[in-house]
Amino acid sequence: MKKTALKASALLLTLGFASGCATTGLDEVRATAEAAAADAAAAASAAEAARAAADRAAQAASSAQSTADRALSAASEAQACCDANKEAMERMFQKSMSK
């Protein structure tokens, strides 16, 4: 983005020289080029801030996934325990009914 803006600024400056503008026109071209360069720098800064925010969001998502994986593991263990208890109670019930 910054390179594109700098290339555009250079192109505008070159066109200004090639067209034989007066000194006033050259000053306008320089001002336009400087404004374009400032806009490009601002855009690069905004892009960097967006990338940093995206990195933080990815890290938060990774942490959330890890927490969800641990919760699923704990739930699976609890279900296995519940199933084992149910089977033991069924066996005790069947044993007491057969006496």
For 93, the 3-state DSSP assignment is: helix
pLDDT of amino acid 98: 84
63-81, pLDDT tens digit by residue?
Answer: 999 999 999 999 999 999 9
Domain that holds residue 42: 2-70
- With a CB cutoff of 8 Å and minimum separation 6, the contacts of 15 are 29
Higher pLDDT, 23 or 92: 92
Q: How many domains does the chain contain in total?
A: 1
Please report whether residue 17 resides in a domain: yes
Please report whether residue 89 resides in a domain: no
Please report whether residue 91 resides in a domain: no
Please report whether residue 11 resides in a domain: yes
Please report whether residue 84 resides in a domain: no
Please report whether residue 42 resides in a domain: yes
What mean pLDDT is predicted for residues 42-65? 97
CB 33 within 8 A of CB 9: yes
Q: What percent of the chain has pLDDT over 90?
A: 64
Please report whether residue 95 resides in a domain: no
For 19, the 3-state DSSP assignment is: coil
Please report whether residue 76 resides in a domain: no
Single pTM value for the model: 0.52
Q: How confident is the model at residue 27 (pLDDT cuts 50, 70, 90)?
A: confident
CB-side neighbour CA atoms (13 Å) of 53: 6
C-alpha 8/C-alpha 30 separation (Å) is 12
